[in-house]
Amino acid sequence: MFKNPGGGALPRRRRRTAGTHAPVCCPNHVEGVKMAAAQAVQEMRTRVVLGEFGVRNVHTTDFPGNYSGYDDAWDQNRFEKNFHVDVVHLDENSLEFDMVGIDAAIANAFRRILLAEVPTMAVEKVLVYNNTSIVQDEILAHRLGLIPIHADPRLFEYRNQGDEEGTEIDTLQFRLQVRCTRNPHAAKDSSDPNELYVNHKVYTRHMTWVPLGNQADLFPEGTIRPVHDDILIAQLRPGQEIDLLMHCVKGIGKDHAKFSPVATASYRLLPDITLLEPVEGEAAEELSRCFSPGVIEVQEVQGKKVARVANPRLDTFSREVFRNEKLKKLVRLARVRDHYIFSVESTGVLPPEVLVSEAIKVLMGKCRRFLDELDAVQMD
């Protein structure tokens, strides 16, 4: 698709006799200029443009009063009409979806909440009864804290401040007890530790859940466990032992990153690539090589090779096209300002779609908290 600035064909200037200096400006030309101006405003409002040396139109400018002729006041109906969500890919650990028609401030709020404010359960206190391994107590405790625990945090409460013991509603207990011994049946000249020693690698599958109070009735056997059972915690040699008790509590990523429920959550804006002029022949092949595979398609039209933008969503914007003197003037790289491609990868504690729902509910909870505060103040 190529843009033709100035609207239709410009009229040829009529030759005038001497003495008249009135400019020849036919209505087509005026219309063309107006259209170009309107297009420029549209671009400023809806696109973030990637220039050769910088990025333009980064900030949201569509606030009431900034543009004449546009009504930018908040209208819930207009928002609901323009907004939609499309799920592109969903499996048990990762989710990719598009959110269209929302502003960066709110999309970013969701991303920040996914990373730091959706609660999970993680090991907080480690009571070490015996640790004769070469891994120090505190290093071991740190590693245990980072292990994702498969327990729905919505079924638990936060622990009260100052409460050392913990009750069944806010604590999960795990036991880790491993002792390494020599294998009496190993071959005489073997040097493979798997043969020589028994229990020399401590994995998360050695962690056993110790139900507190009525937890055994609430949670069936096997549901409260670490998410993965093959995470290596420590290595031992004969005579060394690890014997400890772990308390898991509910927390949020803001407090410590171990409580973050996502491997990562990120978003990118939908790329928008426009060809300003038709690109043909060898240049078309060169152009398709400047972008990620699948973005530019070279088609045979009437014997000539013509480049066409096929799927801009795949592009990662390496900006290779700006390194080519000929081609950089023919392309406009931009991003659509209100189209967010979210990618959420869960650590396994909760399915990713549940995490996004919980994040939205956290933001609602924050608003509700301040609305209640305002009501309380106004009643005073």
Partner 1 sequence: MEEDQELERKISGLKTSMAEGERKTALEMVQAAGTDRHCVTFVLHEEDHTLGNSLRYMIMKNPEVEFCGYTTTHPSESKINLRIQTRGALPAVEPFQRGLNELMNVCQHVLDKFEASIKEYKDQKASRNESTF
Closer residue to partner 1 (CB): 329 or 369: 369
We find the least distance from the C-beta atom of residue 230 to partner 1, in angstroms, to be 28
| Size of site (CB under 8 A) for partner 1 | 48
106 near partner 1, judged by CB under 8 A: yes
Query: Each residue of 130-144: b (16+ CB within 10 Å) or e?
Result: ebebebeeeebbebb
Of the candidates 131, 133, 77, the residue with the CA atom closest to the CA atom of residue 101: 77
Q: Does 266 participate in binding partner 1 (rule CB under 8 A)?
A: no
How far, rounded to the nearest angstrom, does the alpha carbon of residue 306 sit from its chain's CA centroid? 36
What is the Cα–Cα distance from 337 to 339, expressed in whole angstroms? Answer: 6
DSSP-derived 3-state class of residue 129: strand
* Residue 357 engages partner 1 in binding (rule: CB under 8 A): yes
Q: Kindly tell me which of 30 and 88 has the beta carbon lying closer to partner 1.
A: 88
Q: Tokens 């798997």 sit at which residue?
A: 194
Maximal C-alpha separation, the chain: 116
CB 158 within 8 A of CB 184: no
Taking CB under 8 A as the binding criterion, the range among 41-49, 113-121, 191-199, 207-215 that sits at the site for partner 1 is: 113-121
Distance between CA atoms of residues 51 and 173, nearest Å: 56
Exactly one of 103, 168, 243, 280 binds partner 1 (CB under 8 A); that residue is 103
> Taking CB under 8 A as the rule, does residue 229 contact partner 1?
no
* Contact between residue 275 and residue 330 where contact means Cβ atoms under 8 Å apart: yes
The distance of closest approach from Cβ of residue 376 to partner 1 in the complex, given in angstroms and rounded to an integer, is 6
Interface residue with partner 1, options 72, 137, 138, 297 (CB under 8 A): 72
| Interface map 146-175 toward partner 1 (x if CB under 8 A) | ---------------x--------------
Residue 107 has what DSSP assignment? H
Query: Shortest distance, CB of residue 228 to partner 1, whole angstroms?
Result: 25
Q: What is the DSSP letter of 323?
A: G
Question: Which residue of 17, 20, 76, 191 would you call a contact of partner 1, by CB under 8 A?
Answer: 76
Cα–Cα distance between 199 and 183 in angstroms, integer?
10
Question: Can you tell me which of 48, 50, 113, 252 binds partner 1, judged by CB under 8 A?
Answer: 113
The correct pick among 109, 128, 216, 283 for binding partner 1 (CB under 8 A) is 109
Using an 8 Å Cβ cutoff, are 174 and 122 in contact?
A: no
Q: In a 10 Å sphere around its CB, with 0-12 CB exposed, 13-18 middle and 19+ buried, how is residue 147 labelled?
A: buried
Answer positive or negative: Cα dihedral of 14, 20, 25, 26: negative
Using rule CB under 8 A, residue 105 touches partner 1: yes
Instruction: Select from 31-39, 97-105, 211-219, 309-317 the region that touches partner 1 (CB under 8 A).
Output: 97-105
Q: Segment near partner 1 (CB under 8 A), from 12-20, 85-93, 128-136, 315-323?
A: 85-93
Least distance in angstroms from the C-beta of 142 to partner 1: 24
170 touches 159 (CB < 8 A): yes
Residue 207: count of CB within 10 angstroms of its CB: 24
Q: Which positions touch partner 1 (CB under 8 A)?
A: 60, 63-65, 72-74, 76, 79-80, 83-87, 90, 97, 99, 102-103, 105-106, 108-109, 112-113, 116-117, 161, 353, 356-357, 360-361, 363-364, 366-371, 373-374, 376-378, 380
